[in-house]
Copies of this chain bind each other. A is one copy, B any other.
Amino acid sequence: MSDSSHSYSSHVEPSSTPDNVIKALSIDNLIFGLDHGKLDILLIKHKVGISKGQWALPGGWIRYDENLRDAATRHLHELTGVTDLYLEQLKTFGRVDRFPSERVVTVAYYALVSAEDYKVVAGNNATDASWFGIHELPELIFDHKEIIDFGIQHLQQQVRRRPIGFNLLPEKFTLLQLQELYEGILDTKLDKPNFRRKIMKMNLLASCDEKQQGVAHRAAKLYRFDEEAYQALTEKGFSFEI
């Protein structure tokens, strides 16, 4: 691994900062996962630096010849093993005193994943990587708690207007799982028959012609999100809303 892949936990010793990165500019990733209806966030522990041993969002420096999203993807992979997921820009955080002793502005990215689909392992620059419930977060470095709070608020708004919630579920899911997802994120109770009708009327779900296995009651049908149908509808001016 080259020097420039060091996560920024090493940055607090200036001499160890790789010189092919943009100083004063970093990336932080906010990865949401869903575990039994509970919203989780992926955190890592830095291996070295002032923040060694402390929990943090997975992130690090940006290389001179690297686009922002590429840097985000790379750090996520190197720190947690998570790959193949689409990161969306959240916001840039730049309070003068957010980083100790130096001025560092960070661009935050976020994504939603099905926790069970992603194996999480501590990468080369992390001693630990794991999921935390949003109500059981440990102490975090810098302004990472602030980034998380902003991200949760953002998620609650976005999930109602864009079909991003599906990313939190496994590829095949039941309508009840989907409903519980929305109830979890939005912190409300929804009427089952009405919810089903609303979703089905959108024509965004494709039936898998399969049923749940091994449940102690009537098995539910499995559906998957039909990305193509969504694209087609979007071009016709369709707008998702829950």
Contact across chains for B65 and A105 when beta carbons are under 8 A apart: no
The smallest beta-carbon distance between A18 and chain B, in angstroms, is 15
Q: Which residues of B contact A68 (CB under 8 A)?
A: 92, 94, 105
Q: Which residues of B contact A91 (CB under 8 A)?
A: 89
Contact across chains for B92 and A92 when beta carbons are under 8 A apart: yes
Partner of A24, one of B22, B66, B94, B107: B22
Partner of A65, one of B25, B64, B96: B96
Partner of A25, one of B25, B67, B95: B25
Contact across chains for B67 and A103 when beta carbons are under 8 A apart: no
Q: Mark A115-138, 1 if CB is under 8 A from B, else 0.
A: 000000000000000000000000
Contact across chains for A67 and B96 when beta carbons are under 8 A apart: yes
Partner of A67, one of B62, B64, B95: B95
Q: Mark A76-109, 1 if CB is under 8 A from B, else 0.
A: 0000000000000101101110000001010100
- Cα–Cα distance between A94 and B25 once the two chains are bound (Å): 11
- Cα–Cα distance between A64 and B25 once the two chains are bound (Å): 12
Contact across chains for B89 and A107 when beta carbons are under 8 A apart: no
The smallest beta-carbon distance between A92 and chain B, in angstroms, is 5
21 contacts between A and B (CB under 8 A): A22-B24, A22-B103, A22-B105, A24-B24, A24-B25, A25-B105, A62-B94, A64-B96, A64-B103, A65-B96, A65-B103, A66-B96, A67-B94, A67-B95, A67-B96, A68-B94, A68-B105, A89-B91, A89-B92, A92-B107, A94-B107
